[in-house]
Amino acid sequence: MSGLWTIYRRELAGLFFAPLAWILLCLSLLYNAFFFLLYLKSSGGRVDAALEQTLGGAWPFWILALFLPPLITMRMISEESRSGMLEFVLTAPVSDAAVVLGKACAATTFLSLLWACVPVYGLALHVLGAPPDWGQVATGYLGAVLVSALFSAMGLTASALTGTPILAAFLAMLANVAATILPLASGAIRDIAPTTVDWLTERINVIGTFQSSFLTGALDSAHLAFFVIWTAIFLFAATRLIEARRWWG
C-alpha cells in the first residue's frame, strides 16, 4: 500500500515536472472557459444548463475526455520500459498491481484537477448571485472523474502494449473513440445482428451511462459500478501486460 502511494506521488511529480502537463492543463482550461462562456450565453444565462454542458452534456467535453488521458498516460509504461525505469520499479519491493494503480491514480488526479475548473465556475456564479444546483455539480464532477479514471486505465493498457509512447497514445485514442462512437452509431449496424449489438452497446455505453445519471444529479449505483468495473478490467489488463513484458524480456 505504501508502495502504491510512493508510485502515485512519483508519477504526479513526474507529470508536473514536465512542461507537457502544464501546457495541456493551460490549454484545456482556456478551452473549458471558452465553451462555458459560450454555453452561458447560448442558454440565455441558465447557470445549471451551462455547467451541465461544460461537464459532459456537450461534445467539447468528450473531445477532451477522449483525447487528453491518452496523452497523459502514453509515457507512463511504454517510455519507462524503454528507459529501464520499469525494470527498476519492478525489481523494487512493490507489486505490479501497485505500480499500475499508482500510475492510474496519478493520471486521474491530473484530469480531476482539470475538471475542477467547473465547480470553480459554479463558485464564481454563486458569489455573483446565481447559485447553481451544487448536488448536480458534485455528481457531474464525480462522473467526470470516473470517466477520466476509465480512459486513464485504457490509456495505461495501451501504454503497456507498446514501447512507443506515440503509438500508445494513438491506440488509446482509437479505442476511446471506438468505444464511445459505437453506441451512438449502433443504429447503423443494428441490422447485422440486433441482439448482439444491443447487448454490446448496453455494456459499453459510456456517454449514455454518464449522461443519464451523473449529469442529471441522480447517482445510480449500477452506473457507478459500470465505471468501476470497466476501470478495474483495464487496470487488470495493464497489470497482466506488464507481467507479460517480463516474459518477453
Partner 1 sequence: MIEVQNLTRRFGPFVAVNDVSFSVGRGEVVGFLGPNGAGKTTTMRMLTGYLPPTSGSVRIGGHDVVRDSMAVRRTIGYLPEAVPLYREHRIEEMLAFQGRLHGMERSAIARRTDEILERVGLAERRRSPIASLSKGMRQRVGLAVAILPDPEVLILDEPTSGLDPVQRVEVRELIGEIAKERTVLVSSHILPEVEAVAQRVVILHRGEIAADGTREELVAELGGGAAVRVEAMVQDPEEAKRLLGSLPGVTEVRDQGRLGIHHTFEVASADDLREDVGALAASRGWPLRELSWKRPSLEELFSRIALDLGDAAPAPAAAPAADAPDAPAAPKLEVSLGVSQPEPAAKPAPTDEPKRQVYNLNPFELGGQRDLGEPKDACDE
Binding site for partner 1 (CB under 8 A): 2-3, 6-7, 9-10, 13-14, 17-18, 83-85, 87-95, 246-249
Nearer to partner 1, 6 or 216 (CB): 6
Nearer to partner 1, 81 or 176 (CB): 81
All residues at 6 or more sequence positions from 36 whose CB lies less than 8 Å from its CB, including other chains: 50, 51, 54, 118, 121
Nearer to partner 1, 7 or 104 (CB): 7
Nearer to partner 1, 4 or 215 (CB): 4
Assign residue 164 a region (left: φ > 0; alpha: ψ between -120 and 50; beta: otherwise): beta
Q: How far is CA 37 from the centre of its chain?
A: 23
200 burial via Cβ count (<10 Å: 0-12, 13-18, 19+): middle
Residue 71: CB minimum distance to partner 1, A:
17
- Local structure of 131: helix, strand or coil: coil
Cell of 5: 502511494
Q: How far apart are CA 49 and CA 40, in angstroms?
A: 8
Residue 201: CB minimum distance to partner 1, A:
40
Residue 80: CB minimum distance to partner 1, A:
9
Residue 19: CB minimum distance to partner 1, A:
10
